Structure 1
Amino acid sequence: MLREKTKNKSVLVVGAGLVGTLEACFMAKRGYQVHLYEYRPDIRTLEHVPGRSINLAMSLRGRTGLKAIGVEDKVIRDHGIPMYGRMIHNTDGSTRPIPYNKDGKCIYSVGRRFVNEVLLTKAEEYPNLNIHFTHKLTTCRLDKGEATFVNTVSGEQVTRRADLVIGCDGAYSNVRKSMMRQPFFNYTQNYIPHGYMELCIPPTPEGGFAMPANYLHIWPRGQFMMIALPNQDCSWTVTLFMPFPAFEGLSTPELLLSYFKTHYPDAIPLIGREKLIKDFFANEALPMIYVKCSPYHVGSTGLLMGDAAHAMVPFYGQGMNCGMEDCVVLDELLDQYKDDFATVLPAYSAKRNPDAEAIVDLALYNYIEMRDLVNSRAFLLRRKFDDLLSTIMPKYWLPLYTMVTFTRTPYHKCISRKKWQDRVVKHILSVVGMAGVAAGVFLAKSDPLHVLSCSHLSQLPALLSRTWVAATSLSITRK
């Protein structure tokens, strides 16, 4: 019956990256006639794919989208490398692991290109889905469901109309530019003052991993950091993050080596002295941008998804996961409202925008955590405390990272629950502090010769018990 409702409707998707191709598959699966347009050639035919290549950290939200179209097993089984936590590298060369989750759950390091190729191959299986490579969007009238493209090879121009145009064309979206002419469309973009550069740790001479493979490795250094994610060929994609002036200051091989000897001494033999120099000066530091806008739709004929709607910095590993979850959320709303675009699109904007803006903010916060807080004793103690409470009260207490990465709890609810947890912790510390003062007064007023007597000590457990009850009572009364 659903097929009858959708087979005569058409959907045009702009951008055949991860989110665009996944969304095209979702819509084709529902029975729509789908046209997917991409500016680049088919990446499966290219030796090198232009654009960013920061590895993907696949978690539950992204996996849910892949599972819905039947490719999760191929991506995870054939390509994913499990990462069970962060491996922290200290300046003295020592390392220490910080597990992501007390239950041993993991995220997966996967290559962006591989996932994109799997999705494109899956898209070709749908007879009602047509892919048009080397087509550049020139004009777009979302209120009319109309878009014009030029074939960058032949120069031919084509205009296509559809019941729905979906912009999945990235952080610098041309579809979004056309929405900026619509009244009441809000848009902001910001560059952070830090850039990134990709380097590489090669496999060992024996062809293995040069570091423990099942971790995201981090060299946190306060105002800057370096990370490394494992690749399937046993190499590591290394990403250096720091302020642009710091990049500019490393203008000679001598300065570069001196910098690494000071901050990342153990990385020099891993990368290789000559390779480090060669790769660093062959590349350039690239900017990072985050985007917020609303609403995501125009009437019943236009929609933004993925980075086009909510580009974010890469520090929570949720950019791709959030974009793929966009596809799941839209599919759920199409089920709920029986494919009525006039109802679905406003509902999607209302539901998804608070979550998208929340994860954009969380991604910025996590940069501070990764480069600085992971070395803080208070941060590590709070992690242990969160794990303890989640063991005692699993229905009421989950650490923020667990909620974001291993559940589909809406992002904005993850933040509100984290704020509530912070209030609970503050109250617990206050009550425990008062209990400590009370215990001190109790002991001070006791006869020193009888402090250790059972009659006096028997009062302390009751005091501590009342303290715990007062503290934990807060945990079952969430606002």
Structure 2
Amino acid sequence: MQTPLKIAVVGSGLVGSLLAIYLKRAGHSVHVYDRSPDIRTIQFSGRSINLAMSHRGWRALDDMGLSEEIREMAIPMDKRAIHLVGQPLNYQPYGNEGESIYSISRGLLNRKMVSLAEAEGVEFFFETKVWDVTLADATLHTGETEQGAWDDRGYDMVFGADGAFSRIRHRMQRQNMFNYSQEFLNTGYKELNIPANPDGTHKLDKNSLHIWPRQDFMLIALPNLDGSFTCTLFMPFEGENSFESLKDKDTLKAFFAEYFPSTVDVIPMLVEDFFKNPTSTLVTMKCYPWTYEDKVALIGDASHAIVPFYGHGMNAGFEDITILNQLMGEYGDDWKTIFKEYEKSRKPNADAIAELSYRNFMEMRSKTADAKFLLQKKIEKRFSEKYPEKWLPLYSRVTFSYRPYSEALAIGDRQKAIMDEVMLMHDIDKKWDSAEVDNKILELLDTP
């Protein structure tokens, strides 16, 4: 337990709610502010990408004894299911036997996390707009409008967990020597839905993350507990085969019939959902520093928003909390040191998972359908099973381990250079599972 402080968390999303539980358990008085209504009272749909919980996320829940009840909301996915036009369904395992990522509805999980935090004694202030913060004394400024009268709410400490367009970070950006960048993909996304069968079962294999890769665009589907799938269409905003090009229902139906024929019978509300649900943007945001003295800190998307293609936005945010908690245990009440060590530890790893997430976007939309890429993955999987101490595939290092993201990026780059050479071997498609290939990889691993 630390010396009790009065702490405000701005943002009642997944990271804000879990952080509030950690801080409350450490003995602090915790208030959570959010400009939106209580998520438990509203319908949550239209702009969601289902979550893919993996080792890092589960660890943060395990440390608070929360994972068991969250697992009841999760569906294990042990493989990708690749849907190609005119070809059989192709399955690609994510890891070794027994290793899975878990599909969870963002809305369901967020509701649960808020209720768990309330049960701990955390106090929530919904529909309360935080417009600014005074960094020097951790005072929040709230009000109905940005130009109207504000109320001052004083705290010992403030955490900004208010997402990629954080108001807390907005204030920190106006400091001297604050670095900030944001980059939008020219690809957006739109939520669609595959409903359950009449008997409540899933229309597709429920233990797979389904991908329809089409080079410049793709469709994915993740299972829900009620038998449905949350689908996400990723496409360029403009140009051929873009959101701009799908302007009416006939064009939309013809597009899906050509590029996603296997979905025609399973997405009955395609037209309604497509034109009702918003087209959302994808942004990578980087900044530094993440803290101010021992008063204010950014966490989760407020400090490192990433694109969703590794499924690690939430996992990385939860890992922020894990590392912060470890430092709280190590340094006690020395919050200045806690904050400095926290940002120093997490910044390189946040940058690494941002890069990895962008690269996985390229892999998912095109390479998962490429025969040479699939052969390379088979070689890597075979070699890692034979020499597990010498080779852990990049995806497993990111998703099924707790090793730093920055280490995964560096080792992944070295592994890619090795595999690029291996794939140039004569008749590699015929001798991919031979001792010759094994020896080539071993030789390259031993080369400085």
TM-score by length of 2: 0.92
1:71-103 deviations in Å (ceiling 9; x for gaps): 211111x21111111101111263111110132
Counterpart secondary structure, 1:213: coil
In the other structure, the counterpart of 1:38 is 34
In the other structure, the counterpart of 2:3 is 6
Counterpart pick for 2:120 among 118, 123, 126: 126
Counterpart secondary structure, 2:110: helix
In the other structure, the counterpart of 1:200 is 193
In the other structure, the counterpart of 1:87 is 81
In the other structure, the counterpart of 1:171 is 164
Q: Distance in 1 between matches of 2:440 and 2:202?
A: 50
**Contact 2:46–2:191 (CA under 8 A) maintained in structure 1:** no
**Contact 2:78–2:208 (CA under 8 A) maintained in structure 1:** yes
**Which segment drifts farther, 324-333 or 90-99?**
90-99
Alignment of structure 1 residues 242-391 onto 2, 5 Å: 242-245=235-238, 246-272=242-268, 275-391=269-385
Q: Note closer, same or farther for the CA distance 1:356–1:138 as it changes in structure 2 (3 Å cut).
A: same
Q: Distance in 2 between matches of 1:434 and 1:287?
A: 43
**Contact 2:9–2:161 (CA under 8 A) maintained in structure 1:** yes
Counterpart pick for 2:49 among 50, 54, 69: 54
Q: What are structure 1's unaligned runs of at least 5 residues?
A: 436-460
Alignment of structure 1 residues 177-192 onto 2, 5 Å: 177-192=170-185
In the other structure, the counterpart of 1:409 is 403
In the other structure, the counterpart of 2:59 is 64
Aligned letter for 1:22?
Answer: L
Q: Distance in 2 between matches of 1:370 and 1:25?
A: 35
Q: Distance in 1 between matches of 2:120 and 2:3?
A: 14
Q: Distance in 2 between matches of 1:260 and 1:322?
A: 34
Higher gyration radius (CA) = 1
In the other structure, the counterpart of 2:203 is 210
Aligned letter for 2:66?
Answer: V
**Which segment drifts farther, 251-260 or 174-183?**
251-260
In the other structure, the counterpart of 1:444 is none
Aligned letter for 1:94?
Answer: P
**Contact 1:93–1:265 (CA under 8 A) maintained in structure 2:** no
**Contact 2:179–2:288 (CA under 8 A) maintained in structure 1:** yes
Q: Distance in 2 between matches of 1:122 and 1:283?
A: 30
Does structure 1 residue 28 correspond to structure 2 residue 21? no
Q: Note closer, same or farther for the CA distance 1:70–1:158 as it changes in structure 2 (3 Å cut).
A: farther
Q: Note closer, same or farther for the CA distance 1:52–1:260 as it changes in structure 2 (3 Å cut).
A: closer
CA drift at 1:190 = 1.1
Q: Percent identity?
A: 38
CA drift at 1:114 = 1.5
Q: Give the RMSD, CA atoms, in angstroms.
A: 2.3
Counterpart secondary structure, 2:207: coil
CA drift at 1:22 = 0.6
In the other structure, the counterpart of 1:395 is 389
In the other structure, the counterpart of 1:100 is 94
**Contact 2:159–2:296 (CA under 8 A) maintained in structure 1:** yes
TM-score by length of 1: 0.86
1:392-442 deviations in Å (ceiling 9; x for gaps): 221231111101111111111001011222233356567x6699xxxxxxx
Aligned letter for 2:58?
Answer: R
Q: How many residues align?
A: 438
Q: Note closer, same or farther for the CA distance 1:298–1:52 as it changes in structure 2 (3 Å cut).
A: farther
Greater helix share, 1 or 2?
1
**Contact 1:10–1:163 (CA under 8 A) maintained in structure 2:** yes
Q: Distance in 2 between matches of 1:468 and 1:43?
A: 53
In the other structure, the counterpart of 2:431 is none
Counterpart pick for 2:69 among 70, 74, 93: 74
